[in-house]
Amino acid sequence: MRMTGAQMVLAGLEAENVDVVFGLPGGAVLTLYDAIYQKGLRHILTRHEQGAAHAADGYARASGKTGVVIATSGPGATNLITGIATAYMDSIPIVAITGQVARPAIGTDAFQEADITGITMPITKHNYLVKDINELPRIIKEAFHIAGSGRKGPVLIDLPKDVQAEEGQFEYPQQVEIAGYKPTFTGHTGQIVRAAAAIKKAQRPLIYSGGGVISSSAHEELLELSRRASIPVTTTLTGLGSVPYDYELFLGMPGMHGTYAANHAINEADLLITIGARFDDRVTGKLDSFAPGATVIHIDIDPAEIGKNVTADIPIVGDVKYVLKELLKRFKPADTRAWCERVLAWKSSYPVSFKQEPGCLKPQPVIEEFYRLAGDDVIVTTDVGQHQMWAAHFCNLKSPRTFISSGGLGTMGFGFPAALGAQAAFPERTVVCIAGDGSFQMNSQELATAVYYKLPVKVAIINNQYLGMVRQWQKFFYEGRYSQTSLAGSPDFVRLAEAYGATGYRAVRPEEVTAVVQKALNTPGPVVIDFQVDPEENVLPMVAPNTSIIEMIGGEGF
């Protein structure tokens, strides 16, 4: 049938089972938004394009589907960049649709023109500038296929406004064939056999897993491998939730703010089974001292990650769920009892902890109590900084897709709009955003979105009146010279919430925490709680940059 370009976009979204989009209109997408009006597609209007991108990202992380965001040309499109880069670094599938000036005006520095395909080339899996209406159905199909397959990630479609109004024949492809894009899913059988032999031989094996396990829904296979082979597990920040926190052989998170047990297990392992992780510098520390005595198995869907930072002795390119299923058929466990006893002794002797001081509100018990009262089905999002690391340690996660945080890019301002996206995906579930007073102010305008669309996200602001993680680095590595990290002059967050029509609460003493959290959870609609915590509290343990991960500040109790 014949359709306008705008109608083709909506027909393509319908074919891809898209149930909600996030965005902000402008001149170059008016035709598309008119089609949205006529079609009745569920659209959530954010108050900033960056908020829309993060909301689409949070929707994708929570649901496992591809998130969709729409923005106009020029500044609308460029405001998406931080959100697109955040999704790219963490391999999150989103499709961004941007308006563009009419085709004859491209390259003339027309009003609100920006070369968004050129700008986003390094931070997208692929992008398109649509020049022919007849190619649009294929482009939409390819965009969703690329975003949601292989190593997932963002794809951008730049749509000139005259293409949106032009008519063409709409035939949506059933299949996708893209020359040069053929992700390997199955894994090499010979390498899987080698991995099984290495597991049988190992005396001190360790599983180091990442966000790829969640992306491929391989958490059950991961846990089965650990249980059957009696192999301890450590997971990266973006992999948290893939292993229940109370699983005996779970050691927590490794790296710069990792646990004593996880970091020392990596240091002493003779076999490191790396699953859907990329040896990020925040995990490895000084590379030449990382896992110095270990044979490395590396399973990853992206061949570019194999050997990029750490040499893999047994590389396996493929979808981790498929590879783990094949590995489970072939391996025979070794006797790891002595190793497990040693690792579990570290876990028991050196847990992540904090020192409670009388009358002082500490951030760690605030987060722990919020999570406990919210229940195991809660979805937690975070911003970036100290509160993010405390959340990683003190949210007792039991299942995947319940901890949503910006890992690779470390994007302040991510948590709250991501929570709105997660809440849009699961209206009946409790969604909690753990934010810092610095991070929250970067996208606090989305309170209007939360109130208008009745998205009942509960926000816990860990208010220490600083850019806390930056202040911590200044304390440890810059002799306490706190240059431009005080957030004096921040607003009254309770009154800010109320100004937007949300509910605001405050807690300043330890004995107030339980009651105020219960009150927030029982209050309809979005709620902001201002927890005024100890401004000098630090995230410990910590590893200084470019040192071994076993050189931990506060690593043996604090």
Q: Is 38 a catalytic residue?
A: no
Question: What ranges make up the beta strands (E) of 205-264?
Answer: 205-209, 233-235
| Contacts with 291 (C-beta within 8 Å, 6 or more apart), sequence order | 266, 267, 269, 272, 310
State the pairing for strand pair 431-436/503-507: unpaired
> Measured between alpha carbons, how far is 140 from 95 in angstroms, rounded to an integer?
9
| Contacts with 377 (C-beta within 8 Å, 6 or more apart), sequence order | 402, 429, 430
Question: For residues 371, 375, 378 and 382, what is the CA-based torsion angle, rounded to 10 degrees?
Answer: 0
Q: Is 112 a catalytic residue?
A: yes
Residue tagged active-site, from 3, 8, 469, 542: 469
CB 20, CB 44: distance < 8 Å: yes
**Rounded to 5°, angle at Cα 373 from 367 and 376:** 95
CB 36, CB 22: distance < 8 Å: no
Q: Is 111 a catalytic residue?
A: yes
Q: Is 167 a catalytic residue?
A: no
Residue tagged active-site, from 16, 49, 166, 368: 49
N- to C-terminal Cα separation, the chain: 69
Residue tagged active-site, from 39, 112, 135, 185: 112
| Contacts with 348 (C-beta within 8 Å, 6 or more apart), sequence order | none
Peptide bond into 363 cis (omega under 30): no
Residue tagged active-site, from 14, 38, 111, 332: 111
CB 218, CB 291: distance < 8 Å: no
**Rounded to 5°, angle at Cα 335 from 334 and 338:** 140
Q: Is 113 a catalytic residue?
A: no
Locate 365 and state its tokens.
């018990």
Residue tagged active-site, from 65, 161, 347, 458: 161
Catalytic residue IDs = 49, 111-112, 161, 469
